Amino acid sequence: MDVYGLLGNPVSHSLSPPMHEAAYRELGISARYVTFEPESEALEAAVSGADALGIRGLNVTIPFKRDALSLVESDELATRIGAVNTIDFGGSSQKPTGHNTDAAGVRRAFEHHGTELDGTQAVLVGAGGAGRAVAFALAEAGAVVKIANRTKERAENLANAVPRASGHGLDDLPNLLADAEILVNATSVGMDDDRSPVPSESLSSQLTVMDIVYRPLETRLLREARAAGAETIDGAWMLLFQGVEAFELWTGREAPVGMMNDALRGELSGEADAFK
């Protein structure tokens, strides 16, 4: 039996296990997906131990994505993003190989909804770790990326690392969105309260709006975007497709996307029902 897993702290509420195990069942793969919660000082030992134990692959989440970069042979995109969220122990390299499937998750989520990114004007809200992966995903797909952040300097620093990107403060959002076709929220605004990082009057039907927040699935930003006639993409799609990308990297097989999506949304629906 092959073993895959998730490395982070905390990971008790992760949605990755049911999503991946649904794929194993669907394809008849003898495998399990488990979670590990090492302390920060034990990260190197955890990665080395996983390799020694024959674990085939690990996803990596908060707070280890940046630190994992130095422990593996990272691909070019993960190196440029500065974070690893997927480790593959099955390659021929002397060291495990590191990848960032968050960027692929963004790109594939837009593709799934029939949204072309090449040549578009994209506005990204947030310049943190998640925003960095989104910015590179949009730029790699050919978009011109305008990054808006509460701290303008942080947006400018990220823009300096991303092709065809510029950095702005949040006050610039109305002007930036006037000509935009893509809007992505990569902040946590809307996760714990009913707020939106974007003024509702700046939203329009010319936009496709993605919110990477998936708890709740329908954030205030997405509600207001839909009311303005925009196409909307909830955060579960990015979560799904980063997992799909990792599954295909590890197994070399085409992922059963529909089954993984059903498992993921079933878990999220159960969570929502529990709070009613």
- Which of the residues are catalytic? 65
Cα 99 from Cα 93, distance rounded (Å): 14
- Environment class of residue 30 by beta-carbon count within 10 Å: exposed (0-12), middle (13-18) or buried (19+)? exposed
Q: Cβ contacts of residue 276 below 8 Å, gap of 6+?
A: none
The one-letter amino acid code at 107 reads R
Where does 129-275 show beta strands of DSSP type E? 144-149, 165-169, 182-185, 208-211, 231-233
The one-letter amino acid code at 120 reads T
Cβ–Cβ under 8 Å, residues 75 and 99: yes
Count of beta carbons in the 10 Å neighbourhood of residue 129:
18
Cβ–Cβ under 8 Å, residues 147 and 180: no
Phi/psi of residue 145, nearest 5 degrees: -110, 125
